[in-house]
Amino acid sequence: MKRIDWRLIRPPRDSSEEGSRIALALSRLWTRISDLEDGGHTESHLLELEKRYLKHTISPCEASSAPKIDDDPDWQTRMLEEYEYLDVAEDLEDFLTSRRNDPDCERCPYASNYSLFPMDPCEFSAGALEEILNDKSLAEQASVGMKPPEMLLFAQRLEATITEGQFQEHPAIHAEDYLEKTISFLRYWGKMGFSIEPALLDERIFELAEQPDEQVYNEPTLH
């Protein structure tokens, strides 16, 4: 099964055309450099890029009002078990303090059922679409980046696929459940203003890596 991981492109805090352009450029550039590990850039350069990226975009946790660790009445017991399991070097109190305000992905209703959880529960592993959809031209859409309107249209077409029975089962996955979760993912995040970009885990990464990014690094309006 081909691996295609949909990553969310965070929407801009500034809804102006300029703000949207900056947010999209930063999101795609950050994704690209993450895939390339360092892309030949210095650590300080990457830290500055990440700082600007976080400043100008809205995170999935913020947009969805995701629960935090200490929202769970039993959070200390859970964190103690995690502390012991991970054999953390820092003191327990410091560990609890550092973890209590983190997003609680285990309890988040918007965490994807089909992701590389716990690495990134806001991703969606879309590779199975190429295996189960009878319409191969529709399946190819999984490898293409989509903006919110395209995500909603794709969800509509997948819904029609279920109604018409135009899919096949796969030994590694429950096809109908998978399609329903795909539709929910597309609609929820699309309506929230997020776009998706497929993670480039094959030769396409090298094509994208050659695209210029100077306009992002030298953007004068980023402060």
Domain boundaries in the chain?
5-67+103-217, 68-102
Give the model's pLDDT for residue 91: 92
Mean pLDDT of 133-155: 95
**What residues contact 68, with CB distance under 8 A and at least 6 apart?**
100, 101, 102, 103, 104
Better-predicted residue by pLDDT, 7 or 221: 7
User: Global pTM?
Assistant: 0.76
> 32-63 as b/e, with b when 16 or more CB fall inside 10 Å?
bbebeeeeebeeeebeebeebbeebbbebbeb
**Are 8 and 111 a contacting pair, CB within 8 Å?**
no
pLDDT at 77 over 90: yes
Give the model's pLDDT for residue 74: 93
Mean pLDDT lowest among 100-114, 150-164, 167-181, 188-202: 188-202
